[in-house]
Structure 1
Amino acid sequence: RTEAVWGCALLGRGTMPFVELDTSLPAERLPPALAQELCAAAAAILGKPAERVNVTVRSGLPMVLSGSAEPCAQLLVSSIGVVGSAEQNQQHSARFFDFLTAQLGLGPERIVIRFYPLEPWQIGKNRTVMTFL
């Protein structure tokens, strides 16, 4: 199952964090409103309005983490300006881990997070790129 929440509402002008959660957990083991809750958590963690956060949740995937096929999850966080340093990501990591372990029922050793800084020219919207919006 893939569940997407684009902007938790409407896409807004400005930076647009993209949060993608892949998990081997079946959809029925996930909280029903996980995408919406992840959107709200990401907005709070990254200091961005929820209207600008984009979330995708993919469940039931065949996954191997650290050589083990036990239930696991990978979170990808891409954004302009808020995931560009080790210090920023250390703080974000702790808060995302707290959210994910509570919501997914997985231990922190079964979750990995990847942070990717983006430039405005790497995000297309309204037939242009964010650089020109």
Structure 2
Amino acid sequence: KRLCAATAAILSKPEDRVNVTVRSGLAMVVNGSAEPGAQLLVSSIGVVGTAEENRGHSARFFEFLTKELDLAEDRIMIRFFPLERWQIGKKGTVMTFL
């Protein structure tokens, strides 16, 4: 729930437009080490399409994740995926028509 609220705030989206999946306990190697780490995949319409936008989002996500997960910054990776409205299905249609 905290990650959902943080994501909504960081991306300036309403919480009902944010979906979060957490998969804990997975084997993961980051920077050649199997020490605890995290990978965050962020896909969104209209707010993750430029390096400048993502630099700001990255800073805020890193601030949140390092505190919440007690991880060093080098143990976290974020991948941004810009989406178009027609690529998201909801309520039997796509976001283009909602």
TM-score by length of 2: 0.96
Amino acid at match of 2:49: G
Deviation at 1:70, TM superposition (A): 0.9
For 1:80-99, what per-residue CA distance to the aligned partner results, in whole angstroms no more than 9, with x for missing partners? 00000000000000000000
Residue of structure 1 aligned with 2:61, choices 80, 96, 103: 96
Which has a greater percent of strand?
1
| 5+ long unaligned stretches in structure 2 | none
After TM superposition, the runs of 4+ consecutive aligned structure 1 residues lying more than 6 A away are none
Which has a greater percent of helix?
2
For 1:89-133, what per-residue CA distance to the aligned partner results, in whole angstroms no more than 9, with x for missing partners? 000000000000000000000000000000111111122211122
Q: Distance in 1 between matches of 2:95 and 2:13?
A: 16
| 5+ long unaligned stretches in structure 1 | 1-35
Partner of 2:16: 51
Partner of 1:5: none
Sequence identity (%): 73
Residue of structure 2 aligned with 1:110, choices 65, 75, 83: 75
Is 1:122 matched up with 2:87? yes
Q: Distance in 2 between matches of 1:124 and 1:48?
A: 17
Partner of 1:13: none
Q: Distance in 2 between matches of 1:62 and 1:46?
A: 29
Q: Distance in 2 between matches of 1:123 and 1:76?
A: 16
Is 1:132 matched up with 2:73? no
Residue of structure 1 aligned with 2:41, choices 67, 71, 76: 76
Number of residue pairs aligned between Structure 1 and Structure 2? 98
Residue of structure 2 aligned with 1:64, choices 29, 50, 60: 29
